């Protein structure tokens, strides 16, 4: 399995000083109205654990590194959470293995700098339920940040919107984080969801 470019992780304690996971998940719409969620790249379980507390069903988490999956499983066990399924998987080569339109929320957090970002977005779109949401965050490139991939490969929000549109997603909902100023965010949905909401608001 090939690891994505510039995807190294610092130690867990340092890494988790960069985020307010509860705030980010809330702003992106991962709340108690969601049933099942998928996470592309679980890392230390930084977002896995709070997402599992939010959703009604199961969080399916994937990472290419066995030690990251092991850490996430250990944290879930320590927290007494039984609704996390974490697996070692090369998402670019093998996808998630989840059913079509089976996920209400999909997390693509700090992962779309890899070369296969279009493939990841296509897989996220495939598994997304008709009324589901894909949440995306990444390190900003317009400011100096304490971590993150090299500036030349960091995707801009505009770049990711173009890729999302390419796989047929509505990418017009931008999210700003006063709780996590080093990151930008956006949500993606199937286009028909926005049309239905517009009709409901007439």
3-state per-residue secondary structure call for 22-70: HHHHHHHCCCCCCCCEEEECCCCCCCHHHHHHHCCCCEEEEECCHHHHH
Which position has the higher pLDDT, 18 or 93? 93
User: Average model confidence (pLDDT) for the chain?
Assistant: 90
Q: Is 71 exposed, middle or buried (0-12, 13-18, 19+ CB in 10 A)?
A: buried
Taken in order of first residue, the domains within the chain and their CATH numbers are 12-200 (3.40.50.150)
Residue 76 main-chain phi, psi, to 5 deg = -60, -45
Indicate the pLDDT class of residue 2, thresholds 50, 70 and 90.
very low
C-alpha 196/C-alpha 193 separation (Å) is: 5
Res 193 pLDDT > 80:
no
- The DSSP code for 10 is -
Q: Average pLDDT, stretch 47-54?
A: 96
What mean pLDDT is predicted for residues 130-137?
97
Task: Report the Cα 47 to chain-centroid distance in Å.
Answer: 9
User: pLDDT (tens digit, 9 = 90+) per residue, 57-110?
Assistant: 999 999 999 999 999 999 999 999 999 999 999 999 999 999 999 999 999 999
Q: Which residues contact 84 (CB under 8 A, 6 or more apart)?
A: 48, 49, 52, 58, 59, 61, 72, 73, 76
Band the pLDDT of 1: cuts 50, 70, 90: very low
pLDDT at 105: 98
Torsion angle in degrees (nearest 10) through CA of 56, 123, 84, 130: 10
Asked whether the predicted pLDDT for residue 189 surpasses 60, the reply is yes
47 pLDDT more than 60: yes
Counts of helices then strands in the chain (DSSP H, E) = 8, 7
């Amino acid at each position: 399995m090939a690891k994505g470019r510039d995807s190294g992780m610092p130690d867990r304690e340092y890494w988790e000083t960069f985020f307010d996971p509860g705030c980010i998940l809330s702003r992106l719409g991962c709340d108690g109205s969601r049933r099942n969620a998928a996470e592309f790249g679980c890392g230390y379980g930084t977002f896995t654990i709070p997402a599992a507390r939010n959703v009604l069903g199961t969080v399916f988490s994937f990472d290419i590194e066995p030690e990251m999956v092991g850490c996430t499983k250990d944290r879930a066990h320590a927290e007494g959470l039984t609704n996390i399924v974490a697996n070692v998987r090369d998402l670019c080569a093998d996808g998630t293995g989840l059913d079509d339109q089976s996920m209400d929320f999909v997390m693509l957090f700090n992962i779309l700098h890899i070369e296969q970002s279009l493939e990841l977005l296509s897989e996220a779109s495939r598994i997304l339920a008709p009324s589901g949401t894909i949440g995306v965050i990444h390190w900003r490139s317009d400011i100096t940040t304490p971590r993150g991939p090299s500036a030349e490969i960091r995707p801009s929000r505009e770049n990711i919107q173009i890729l999302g549109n390419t796989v047929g997603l509505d990418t017009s909902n931008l999210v700003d984080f006063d709780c996590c100023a080093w990151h930008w965010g956006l949500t993606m949905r199937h286009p028909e969801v926005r049309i239905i909401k517009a009709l409901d608001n007439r």
